[in-house]
Structure 1
Amino acid sequence: MTTLGSVVESGRWRSVLSWISMVCILTAIGQSPTTRAVEPERSYSLATASTGGTYYPVGVAIATLTKIRLQPQKGISLSAVSSAGSAENIDQLATNQVQFAILQGLYGAWAWNGAGNIGQRQTHLRSVSMLWQNVEHFIIRTESAQTGNIEDIHNLYHRAFSLGKQQSGTEGSGHHILLSNGIDSKQLRLVSMGYGTSASSLISGEIDGINVPAGVPVAAVSEVFSSLGNSVRLLDFTDEQLARVNQPYQLWQRYVIPINTYPGQTRPVQTISQPNFLAVRDDVDEQAVYEITRTLYENMSFLHGIHPATKDMALDKAVEGLPMPLHPGAARFYREQGILIPPHLLPGT
C-alpha cells in the first residue's frame, strides 16, 4: 500500500488527491474518514498555480489537511485548484470564484496598494499567514553565462525565454526583476509556459532560458539539471542587483541555494527570494478562517512531509512580511498564541 512517506520520497505528490492516499494520510494523523459532520458545511476553493511548481502541491496539502481535520466535526473544507498563479488568483478572489489563494508578496503589495500589474486596490483581500520563500531560479545555457549573474539575460535578447504563463505571478515578478536591473524583457522572445513545459523545452533546445520561482527544491529545476548538467547555469544576484529589485517594496532577501540541492550542482547559488502568503476574502466566515489557521499550525509536520519548502513556516514567522491586514479569524488565533501583530496588519486598518 502506498504510504505518505513513499509519496513524498518518490515525488508523486499528486497521489495526495486520490482517496487511496487519503486513507493512508488519515491513518498517519489519527483521524477516521467515516466521521460524520455535525455542523453546516462551509466549503471553499483555494487557488494555487501550475502543477510543476510549489504552490500546487502545498495547496493540495493544505486542502487535504483541512478536509481531514475540520470537515468531519466542523463542516469546513478547502478544495485546491490549479491556476496560472498570483495574477489570476487575484482576479478569481475578486469575482469570488475562489475564497482563498496563495499569492506572491509582490502581487499582494500591488493588490493592496493598487499598483503594478493590478492597478485597482483590492480592498476585499486579507492575509492569513506567511507560508514560504519563493526562490528565483533564472537558468540559462552556460555558453551565455559570461558573468554568472542576472546581467547575463542581456545575452538572450531576441532568443526564446520563458518567464512563465501569461497573467501569472511568475511572469509579472520576472518582468519586475529584469526591468529593475535594466534588462528590457521586450527584447526577449518570450514564450508562455508553465514550469514543467518550460523545463522540457529548455532540455529539448526549443528555448534558451527560464525562470522558475518556487520553494526549494523545485521538481522542474531538478529535471533540467538531471538532463543538462553543467551545460546550464543557475544565475546569481549581486547585492546591488538585489537592492534594485527591492524598489519600491522591500520584499526580496538573499537566498543561498546550497551545494547539491540539484543534481550536479557543485557551487552555492547566490539568488534572491520573496515571501509567499495565504490570502482570503474579507467576507469569509471568521470562525472558518480561525479554524483553518489553527489547523495549519497544529499540523506542521504533515505539511513538512509534503514539500520541504514548508519547513520555512513557523508560528513566530506567521505575520512577517505580510502585505495586507490580517483576517479577523487569523488575528484571533495569533493573539491567543501570544504573537505580536504590527499595527499595519491589525484587522480594520
Structure 2
Amino acid sequence: MTNFKKLLLSSLLVSSVALVGCNDEKEKSTASATSAPKLASKFVIIATGGASGPYNIIGTTLAEVYSNELKANSKTQTTGASVENINLLNSKKVEMAFVMRDALSDAVNGLGSFENKKVTTVNELAALYPNFVQIITSKKTGIKTIADLKGHRVATGAQNSGVEVNARKLLAGFGITYNDITVDYLGYAEAVDALKAGRIDAAFLTSGLPNSSLMELQQGFDLQLVSIPKEGAEKIMQQYPYFTSMAIPAGTYNNAEDVPTIAIRNALIVRSDLSDDDVYLLTKTFFENMDKLKSSHQAVKDINLEEAQKGSIAPLHPGAKRYYDEVSKK
C-alpha cells in the first residue's frame, strides 16, 4: 500500500471515530434534556415576607433551585407574610407560600383575620423550622417580661402578618389588649429602626434564629430580650396547641442566658389545585437540595423529613404525600 493510501485510510478512521464521539455526546445531551423533570405549571411564584426576613432569604434560594433543577419560571414575591400569603394563594396569584401555622389555623377554621371566610384552597407541602417569638427592647426601658409591655409603645409586626397574629394572641394571654399599649404595625427592619430612634419601646420580631435585623441591631445597641414566662406560656398553649414553649439559646444575640419564649412552627403551603405530579416534584426537589437551602439561612437546619409530615393544620397535598410515602419505603 502506498504511503498516500495509508495516510488517506488513517484520516478516514480518525474522522469516523470523531463523528461517533460527537453523535454519542449529542445523544447523551438529548437524553438528559428529555429525562429532566418538567412541571405542568408555567410559574412557581413563592410568597415570602419582608425583604430582610428568613422567609424571603430562604425563598429566594428555593426559587433559584426550582429554576435550575426543574427549569421552572420561579421567583419570590415579598409580602406582609402569613395572612397576605394565604390570601394570595386563595386568589391564585401565587403557587406557593411560607406561613406560620397559627395564621394557617385561623384560615382553615375561619377565625381571626379570616373570620367567616374559611379557606379551603390551600394544602401543606411541609412543616418547616420553628419561629421563635423574639420580643426586644432596650435595657433602659426596664421591660423584662411580656407582662411589662402594658402602657408602652410596641411594634407588633406588619398588620395581619403572622407576627402580628401571634403577638395579639400572646398579649391577650397575659391580659393585655391593644387598648393597653400604643400599637405600631412595623416589619422587622422598620421596627429595628424605630427602636433605635426611640419612637417605640419594644417590638415583636417572630422568626427563625437568628433574625438578621437583630444581628445588626445588637451592634452598638443595649439590646434586651423580653421573656415569656413558662407558667403563662403553658396556659396559652392549652388554648392554642400549635404554640410550644422554647428558649432563645444563650449567645444568640450576646444574651448571657437562655431566654424563655414561645415558638410556632412554619409551613410551606401550596394551592390545592396544583397537580399531584407538580407538587411531588416540588417536594422532592425541596428536600433533595437541602444543603443549598441550609447555606442560605441557619434556621433551615431544623427542617427534616420526619417533622415535615407532622401536625398538619391544612390537609397534606396528595403530591407531597406521594413523596413522603416513597422515601419512607426506602
- Structure 2 length normalisation: TM-score? 0.84
* Cα distance per residue 1:258-303 (max 9 Å; x no partner): 22211x3222211111000001111012111101100111111111
2:188 & 2:37 partners in 1: Cα distance? 41
Runs of 5+ consecutive residues of structure 1 not aligned to the other structure: 1-34, 340-349
State whether structure 2 residue 161 is matched by structure 1 residue 145: no
Report the alpha carbon displacement of residue 173 of structure 1 after superposing the two structures with TM.
Answer: 1.3
State whether structure 2 residue 55 is matched by structure 1 residue 46: no
State whether structure 2 residue 90 is matched by structure 1 residue 94: yes
Report the alpha carbon displacement of residue 185 of structure 1 after superposing the two structures with TM.
Answer: 2.1
Partner of 1:133: 130
| Off by >3 Å, runs of 4+ in structure 1 | 35-41, 143-146
1:199 equivalent among 186, 192, 206? 192
Alpha carbons 1:46, 1:80 under 8 Å: kept? yes
Provide the secondary structure at the position in 2 that maps to 1:255.
strand
Partner of 2:11: none
* Cα distance per residue 1:143-190 (max 9 Å; x no partner): 3335x2211112xx1x42211112212111111111121112222221
Report the alpha carbon displacement of residue 123 of structure 1 after superposing the two structures with TM.
Answer: 0.8
Alpha carbons 1:181, 1:244 under 8 Å: kept? no
Alpha carbons 1:294, 1:333 under 8 Å: kept? yes
Structural RMSD (CA): 2.0
Identity, in percent, stands at 28
Alpha carbons 1:139, 1:211 under 8 Å: kept? yes
1:97 & 1:227 partners in 2: Cα distance? 42
**AA of the residue aligned to 2:90:** A
Alpha carbons 1:275, 1:321 under 8 Å: kept? no
Q: Kindly tell me: are residues 291 and 38 of structure 1, through their superposed partners in 2, closer, same or farther at Cα, counting changes over 3 Å?
A: closer
- Alignment of structure 1 residues 1-349 onto 2, 5 Å: 39=38, 42-71=42-71, 76-119=72-115, 120-145=117-142, 148-154=144-150, 157=151, 159-229=152-222, 232-262=223-253, 264-338=254-328
**AA of the residue aligned to 2:298:** P
Report the alpha carbon displacement of residue 218 of structure 1 after superposing the two structures with TM.
Answer: 0.5
Alpha carbons 2:113, 2:160 under 8 Å: kept? no
1:151 & 1:244 partners in 2: Cα distance? 14
Partner of 1:23: none
1:220 & 1:233 partners in 2: Cα distance? 14
Alpha carbons 1:46, 1:63 under 8 Å: kept? yes
Alpha carbons 1:199, 1:223 under 8 Å: kept? no
- Structure 1 length normalisation: TM-score? 0.80
Report the alpha carbon displacement of residue 44 of structure 1 after superposing the two structures with TM.
Answer: 2.0
Runs of 5+ consecutive residues of structure 2 not aligned to the other structure: 1-32
1:167 & 1:228 partners in 2: Cα distance? 29
2:277 & 2:227 partners in 1: Cα distance? 44
Alpha carbons 2:141, 2:201 under 8 Å: kept? no
Provide the secondary structure at the position in 2 that maps to 1:213.
coil
Report the alpha carbon displacement of residue 247 of structure 1 after superposing the two structures with TM.
Answer: 4.3
Alpha carbons 2:131, 2:208 under 8 Å: kept? yes
* Aligned length, in residue pairs: 295
* Cα distance per residue 1:125-147 (max 9 Å; x no partner): 1000011111111112323335x
2:274 & 2:41 partners in 1: Cα distance? 13
